[in-house]
Each structure stands twice: as C-alpha cells, then as structure tokens.
Amino acid sequence: MTADRRLERQRQLQQLLRGEGLDGLLVSHLPNIRYLSGFTGSAALLLIGPRGATLISDFRYASQAPQEVGNAAMVEIDQRSIWERLARVLTTNPVESLGIEALSLTVRDAERVSSLTSTRVVPTRELVERLRASKSPEEVGAIRAAAELAQDALREIVSQLHVGQTELEAGSLLEAALRRRGSEWHPFPTIVASGPRSALPHARTSGRTMLKGELLVLDFGAQVDGYCADLTRTAVVGARADERQQAMHHLVESAQRRALEHLRAGMTSCEADSLARDVIVARGFGDAFGHSLGHGLGLEVHEAPRLAPNSDTPLPLHAVVTVEPGVYFPGWGGIRLEDDVYLGPNGAERLSDGRTELLELV
C-alpha cells in the first residue's frame, strides 16, 4: 500500500512558514497543490494555515475534489468565485500573515488577495518546491516506472523510423506508443530533430523529412501517477555513423559516464555540472555545450534542483535529476544523451536504462 504523505508534507511546510514568520500560505501553483492535497484539477487554491488546510475549487470539481483530497484538507466549492470563497474562509480562519507564491500568482491576483483581507500578505519563493526537491520512495518509484514506460515505447517504434519520414510522423509513432503503454500525458512536447535541426537543443518537431546519414535527436518523456520521466537518445538515420558522428557521440557518452560515476547528494550544482563539462572542455568543445547538465524531475519535468554552472546550491539527498550533456554544431547537427538519476545515500542510481549507444537505423 502506498504511503499517504500529504499531512506530513503540510506539517513540514508549516515549520518552514514559522521560520519565515508566516502563519499561512496561499498555494496557487497546481503541482504544489497536488503535492500537498492530492487534487489534480485545473482550478484551485489551497490555504495552509495553523489549523490545517482548505482546498477551494469550483463546480466542475464538486465531486472530484472531495474524492481526491479525502482527509488531507477541508474542501470548499463555490459556484461563483473561488476568490469570494477565499475571503469567507479567511474570515472564519483568520491568519495574521499570509504568504503567497510569488512565482505563480499574477500581480492582479496578488492584489486581489490583499483586497480580500486585512491580513499582511507576503510574497514567498519556492517554499513548497524546497520540500518537493527530496523525493519519497513512492515518488522515485513513479519516476522509475515512467522511465521504463518511455524506454519500452522507444524500443517498440525504433525499427519503424526510416529515411523519408518526417519528424512529425516519427514523433506521432513515439507519442502513440507512450500512450498505449500507459503514459498519462506527455510531460513536454516531444522533440524529434533531424539533420541540422538536431543542433537546436529545444527544437520543435517539424515537417522536415529525415535524410540518409543524418543525426536524429529524440527527446521524450512519460508520466505515471503525475510524475515525469525525461530521456534523450541520438541516432543516425538510414546509414552507419561516420567518423565525426562516432567521435562526438563518444565524447558526450564519456562526459555523461563521468557524471554518473561521481554525482552525489551534497555536492553543489556547479560541481555536478563540471563533472561532464570538464570532459567536453578538455577536448576543446566547451562552446558546443551551452546548456546546463540537468534539472530536477518530479510532478514537473523541470523543477529543483538544477545542475548548472552558475549555482552553488547543494544537491539535496533523495533528489531525482536528469544528466544530459550534449554538443551542438550549427549546420551539422547535435548529440545529446539524457538519463534520469536518483541521488540516494549510496550515490547516483540510474532510474532509466542507460542505453546510450549511438542508434544506427539501417
């Protein structure tokens, strides 16, 4: 039976709030609402106060909200306005100082909260995200399951990828396989980038036709129980890899291997990033690796912590992160390899299969 950690998370958040000198927090970011209450709908506010939590939503979720939330929060459904209902809840359960999520609440809605109550309203940054960075065993298990699902989907369709296909056609095969195998949704738009477009790290899948001997970057994910996996594999279409393709792939694979061997909780983000970056820089291709080494995974595909060269934040124990070095050469193409990794007490544990060999689609 899966452990229910919602009340425990709320207690941890209340401790953080006390440390910030706050009595409560108005949670507006939907992934944070799901993390604390279990609610999966598209419209809600969650008020965390000294005496517990109250979820406020609208008529569309009158049945869904109580079922999903259970005893994790009181549920208030308003036919007209969740903001008017929030005002009534604050009148019944007053707090002296109320935090709001500065990164998700618009200026207009922040002004609306201030107008609803005489409570002191204080912008906060990433209080819930700080808790979400360390994953429970159940969360790690969901990400592992999502990674396995994504790997299986790629294995199912890789023999169907061929010269003359468009990127959109290849992407549709992969996305259909993900859904057939149980992915709840695509955590991000699937990237299928061929030829010179593979040098675009965040390319949009296009109608371009794949040509013989070109590089093909596949960046895709799956979602299980709300948790995301994020993988990237690189292939050559319709031919054996040439010498340059092999050399660049070997470089990226070596950089990722070094990061996976030495990555651990407690090192800083920039130390983690340098594990792979130093390998690429030493070969003279530092300018070709222009993005960070990785990012956190969870209810969102990009969340804390980051593995970035400009951050000295320590990586928390029990975080799940991506490790995705790459090199990109305009006009020629790019190579990226990405796996999902759990930072446990014994070091880095790969949650994805690590099948990073250069795929030759012949």
CATH code where residue 233 lies: 3.90.230.10
Residue that is last in its domain, among 81, 111, 132: 132
Classify residue 261 as exposed, middle or buried by CB count within 10 Å of its CB (0-12, 13-18, 19+).
exposed
Question: What three-state secondary structure class fits 336?
Answer: strand
Taking residues 181-189, report their average pLDDT.
96
Task: Check pLDDT > 70 for residue 5.
Answer: yes
Q: 14 and 51, same structural domain?
A: yes
Residue that is last in its domain, among 101, 132, 163: 132
Grade residue 188 by pLDDT with cuts at 50, 70 and 90. very high
Task: Check pLDDT > 80 for residue 2.
Answer: no
Q: Are 230 and 340 in contact (CB under 8 A)?
A: yes
User: Does 186 map to a domain?
Assistant: yes
Q: Supply the DSSP symbol for 299.
A: S
Q: 152 and 84, same structural domain?
A: no
DSSP secondary structure, 311-322, as one string: --PBPPTT-EEE
CA dist., res. 358 & res. 361, Å (int): 10
Q: 144 and 50, same structural domain?
A: no
Task: Check pLDDT > 60 for residue 54.
Answer: yes
Bond into 201 cis (ω within 30): no
Question: Per residue in 83-132, pLDDT tens?
Answer: 999 999 999 888 899 999 999 999 999 999 999 888 899 999 999 999 99
Mean per-residue pLDDT of the chain: 96
Question: Per residue in 22-44, pLDDT tens?
Answer: 999 999 999 999 999 999 999 99
Q: 207 and 76, same structural domain?
A: no
User: 20 is in which domain, residue-wise?
Assistant: 6-132
Q: 239 and 193, same structural domain?
A: yes
What is residue 245's predicted lDDT score, i.e. its pLDDT?
Answer: 98
User: Does 1 map to a domain?
Assistant: no
Residue that is last in its domain, among 105, 132, 159: 132
How much of the chain, in percent, has pLDDT values that exceed 70? 100
Task: Check pLDDT > 60 for residue 303.
Answer: yes
What is residue 320's predicted lDDT score, i.e. its pLDDT?
Answer: 98
Q: Are 307 and 293 in contact (CB under 8 A)?
A: yes
Q: Higher-confidence residue: 293 or 91?
A: 293
CA dist., res. 273 & res. 280, Å (int): 11
Q: 230 and 90, same structural domain?
A: no
Task: Check pLDDT > 60 for residue 294.
Answer: yes
Structural domains in the chain (count): 2
